[in-house]
Structure 1
Amino acid sequence: MVAELPDEDFAQPSGCKGWLVRDLVCHLVVDAQDVLNTLVTPAESLAGARAMLEEIAGAAFPGSLSDADALLIGTGRRAPTESERAALGDWGGRLPLFLG
């Protein structure tokens, strides 16, 4: 869809105030790359990504969730199971977090 846009369309305002179409497309691509990189990184990086997500959220994921599961659930890549939902409690109602 984006590849079919003429160059001049990228300089047009987007639906987001102050953002051109080019700005919005770049933002979405970078966010998608960040998510993909997070999901395929070694365990040490997953722990760092989890800590960053918890800092943004202002709350910690339950210790019963692995770093990978916390990131998948926290970013909406998968829904929590019933037991994970119970462990998340009221905090689970704020998920997924949308970053960017």
Structure 2
Amino acid sequence: MDLFSRSLSDLLDTVGDLTDDDFARPSGCADWLVRDLVCHFVIDAQDVLITLVTPTADAVTHDAVTYWKVSHAPSDDPLAALTVRLAAAYGEPWMLKHHVQDVGRAAVRAAQIADPRLKVGTQDMVLAVADYLGAYVWEWTLHHLDLVAHLPHARRPHADALARCREVLERVGGAFPASWRDEDVLLVGTGRRAPTEAERAELGDLRIPFVLG
């Protein structure tokens, strides 16, 4: 749960440092500008707040890893186009920056006071709060890499969050070479960067990319 708060706080700090020009730059998500990705953070933070106040007495069905559905093909998110339109509706970058900080910091606070043993329901799944927040470390960290993909001056995700996400990826897909940096495992493993010829040889029969959604 601490890693959830750290990874989201780091992401929000990075957004807070962005200039107006940065919002118009491409992100690491195909067809999305930085502003579109930041708008997606607003939606995600709202989802966290909603889920944390949606307790259930039903039996747990998923954990922090099985929460994610794994495939090898790009996901078709029906909300992607809506997110782009919502982002454009903010008009000025400061409006979007203010909103994401508002709901994002609220999500951090809500996570800090949540009972980790409480069960919550989301997307037809039931998880313990600790596992639900643990699953979101993947979301915040991978999208943090997307946020800074074309912003070399921006701060990168915390090492602990990168290591945790590597652990998740290797649990669902198989081990990557131990010598690889965690960030490279995530970028190559999720198709955000093509492997070099040497990296491809090291991967052997490991099938990539892994799409978790």
Match of 1:49 among 165, 172, 178: 165
Equivalent AA in structure 2 for residue 99 of structure 1: L
Query: 1: distance between equivalents of 2:203 and 2:163?
Result: 18
1:17-28 to structure 2, matched below 5 A, reads 24-25=78-79
1:36 counterpart residue number: 143
Percent identity for Structure 1 against Structure 2: 50
Quick check: 1:90 aligned with 2:167? Answer: no
TM-score (norm 2): 0.30
CA contact (8 A) 1:75 1:96 kept: yes
Match of 2:193 among 49, 72, 78: 78
1:68 counterpart residue number: 183
Say which SS state the counterpart of residue 56 (structure 1) adopts.
helix
Gaps of 5+ in 1: 1-22
Equivalent AA in structure 2 for residue 98 of structure 1: V
Bigger proportion of residues as helix: 1
Gaps of 5+ in 2: 1-76, 84-135, 146-155
- Bigger relative CO (Cα 8 Å, ≥ 6 apart): 2
Deviation at 1:24, TM superposition (A): 3.7
Query: 1: distance between equivalents of 2:178 and 2:184?
Result: 11
TM-score (norm 1): 0.61
Alpha-carbon RMSD: 2.3
Report how many residues are paired.
70
Query: 1: distance between equivalents of 2:168 and 2:205?
Result: 20
Say which SS state the counterpart of residue 73 (structure 1) adopts.
helix
Deviation at 1:65, TM superposition (A): 1.1
